[in-house]
Structure 1
Amino acid sequence: MNDDSKLIDQALAGDRAAFGQLVRRYQDRLFASMLQVTGSSDDAEDVVQDAFVRAFVKLHTFQRQSQFFTWLYRIAFNSALSHRRRKRSTVSLEHARESGGIEPVDKVDAPDAAMIRDDRVQTVRTALDQLTEDHRVILVLREMQDCAYEDIAQILEISIGTVRSRLSRARAALKLVLEEIETKQESQGGATGELR
């Protein structure tokens, strides 16, 4: 029995401190993941808090067929998608900076490189926002959060074959959007460097 299982058993027996240990163990990792999904530290905080509350209330339904974090991530991810659907606004540069998504330009250390990096981050965010939700979600899970195919399949409740094909289509769609953005930037004289 792993340590998570022991803490889950204790929490199910009424030990709130045991669930508190699970929260402390996973809150930073879950926050970082939800920050990628929501694009906002405030939204990520809300989603993570909601996920832990839901997980506590529904802990008795956890069947232990997956890792606890995978189950918790699924709860948080669904909450983030619902939150994002409600908001449906794009992340501004200011908001991205606030959430740590874009680093401020360091004037001492290679300012041109920092500007190009910031432009690339913003370009990828813009491109992701133009994709369908299915494509954006699978790219965030695989490319930004480095989830295994099996975990993505569990989180999205699809087969591994569907994960692979959807990921392939999402990568192709992202490439097209990035090429369109690059072409537009070049035609406006604002090319910031190679995107690939």
Structure 2
Amino acid sequence: MSKTKEIVMPVVVLGLVCLIVTSLLAVTNYFTAPIIAQAAVEKANESRRVVLPEGDSFTQVVYEGMAMSELGISEIYQADNGAGYAVTAVTSGYGGDISVMFGIDNEGAIVGVEVLEHGETQGLGDRIATVDFKGQFIGKSGSLNLVKGSASGENDIVALTGATISSTAMTNAANCALEAVNLVKGAQ
């Protein structure tokens, strides 16, 4: 009988400990989940204000036409004050997906760029997040062209030396964001 007790008691105690810990985690999650969700919304809105400084608050745009995911667009938000749109595009770079947010004004010009996530090679492809490279997109509209060397046209983006795939991904993301805004504006 004592052998059975030696086997059963640790199992019961371990089961009770697991039940108590799980319950405490569930209660903690219940109280912290709304706070975490609100913080995520605020962080996203702050990113939107970075790429579209004139925007005050933002409302997600629901587009009924072609699925935005087909364009590589994960979300589109319109500024409630009519300043423009904040568009998040995801494209494939050299080191994996690149998530980038573009601010696009009502005239269809890019007014801000923020690289949200990337896995590009340090020292090469990660230069897509530099102010100099992102600055090339500011003021551009229409179809952007990636060029090697120096820009000759108003919609040219100069590729980063040694990081053509990353540069191409950023240019593709910008073109997708611009196209998405045109589709949304055409549907309104």
TM over 0.5: no
TM-score normalised per structure 1: 0.29
TM-score, scaled to structure 2:
0.30
Give the strand-richer structure, 1 or 2. Answer: 2
- The higher radius of gyration belongs to 2
